[in-house]
Amino acid sequence: MRGPHNIIRLIRTGATLERTGAMKVVLEAFEAPAYLRLIFRTIVWPFQWLGFKGDPKMSPVPRALVVLGPAYIKFGQILSTRPDVVGDDMAEQLRVLQDKLPPFSMAEARAEVQRELGVNVDDAFSSFSEPVAAASLAQVHKAHLADTGDAVAVKILRPGIEKAFRKDIDAFYFAARTIEVLSPASRRLRPMDVITHFEGVVLGELDLRLESSAAAEFAANTKSDKGFQVPLVRWHLSGRRVMTLDWAEGTNAGDNMALDAAGHDRRVLAARVLQMFLNHALRDGYFHGDMHQGNLKVAPNGDLIAYDFGIMGRIDEYTRRVYAEILFGFIRKDYQRVAEVHFEAGYVPADRDVDEFARALRAVGEPIFGMDASRISMARLLSYLFEVTERFGMETRTELILLQRTMVVVEGVARSMDPHMNIWQVAQPIVEDYIKRRIGPAALLQDLGKTAMILARFGPQLPRLAEEALIRLNNPPPPPKPQRRIARLSWMALGGVLVGGGIWIGQLLTGL
């Protein structure tokens, strides 16, 4: 239900942030002005008794997000990859949300396996460990298959997670609708569409059959990628609420000390994370949509191992070309071409000035070049980019939300490994290779070949289609009968009278 009762849920959210001490920490992390901090805390303070207490053993912000529910935890996971936005200390605190949340009991886990797969845990597995990782929606157990002894990971959804998520998303819908009503300027950002997209993404995570399918497709696409691995799914032990796949042995990608101790070169790993993401997005149009440190390991041989495929992104060939041209334009500092691509793709209204947009984009892009990542404030950069898009009436592109969000997350992961990495230099070879293969002369020949195949497929029907078109051309439909036209005009006249009368009455009442 998305009604006004969600006001209580939103008030409780603010109250929980205040009661756990998270409100103060968040406002300080985002460097909110003193007057804004005072306003926020003055409004929320009287209601703090409505807030949840949470686990006092946890830091304030993770404590608040965990007790508020899975959707809030997802938001915290994204922020955990952005130390440049929230600061190193908070980013470190938020990493517990990736895979170190309180687990549910072994008895519940065994019962879920029995209920979903129809087999007893002791019959299917020779060993079944305590939870080795617990995230917002599910937890993972290490096990060994009874028949082969192979090590596997068994992922099990949290009991009742679907209902808990529905409560959060309903409150988000209510907040988005309220924002649209109270702030018409925000409608260009399409908050309702954004929440709908977010809902669809997470609902996909709540059916592990879809995740199993995604893992299999992703493994097939990336099987030839050097330095990258995807565990294989064990289909006979997977269902809607339980998924089993090969165990991935390695070091957590977010543990820099462990990576150094294992002898891995973090600069190489940082570049590989970003380049692999771009390769999958541009080459395949199918990419891992949740590539934070909790979903990445580094194998002993240095390979990146990706897992948790609940959120996957897909973009069509045309969007890939647009995205590549925009990136390529930034890399070459060709801001005029970047602006033109935005207009050609319809991202910016046609009545705006393309030269002005190019100049605004230059102000966004120039500070990036010639500087290492540690000197760039991504918070200020995103803030200015938001101002530019607002000024030029650029609407939120819901089809690009996941791509843009994942790009931010992946860059955050790479920067956590190598704070001095220049993202544009690392991205350049991947983008240039895609441009050569998909936008140059070779791409034109491929497009012509696809067009010829389509024409060949419909070739036998072309004579019939042409004949039907000629018949319609030579036998146009009869004009509408006069009485229908007169009736339509009468109704239009009546409508005009009613509207005009209403306006006159309104003016009269206003004058009184």
> What are the residues facing 286 on neighbouring strands?
314
- Determine the Cα–Cα distance for residues 196 and 179; give it in Å rounded to an integer: 15
3-class secondary-structure state, position 55: coil
Are 233 and 215 in contact by the 8 Å Cβ rule? The answer is yes
- Determine the Cα–Cα distance for residues 182 and 191; give it in Å rounded to an integer: 12
> What are the residues facing 314 on neighbouring strands?
286
**Cβ contacts of residue 205 below 8 Å, gap of 6+?**
137, 211, 310, 311
Order of strands across the sheet that contains 296-298: 228-229, 304-306, 296-298, 251-252
CA dihedral 237, 238, 243, 245 (to 10 degrees): 60
The values of phi and psi at residue 104, to 5°, are -90, 170
Alpha helices in 183-232 (DSSP H): 191-205, 208-222
Amino acid present at 349: P
3-class secondary-structure state, position 295: helix
Per annotation, catalytic residue among 290, 316, 353, 355: 290
Among this protein's residues, is 290 annotated catalytic? yes
- Determine the Cα–Cα distance for residues 377 and 39; give it in Å rounded to an integer: 26
Residue 296: enclosing H or E segment and its boundaries?
strand 296-298
Joined together, the tokens standing for residue 414 give: 């790479």
Residues annotated as part of the active site = 290
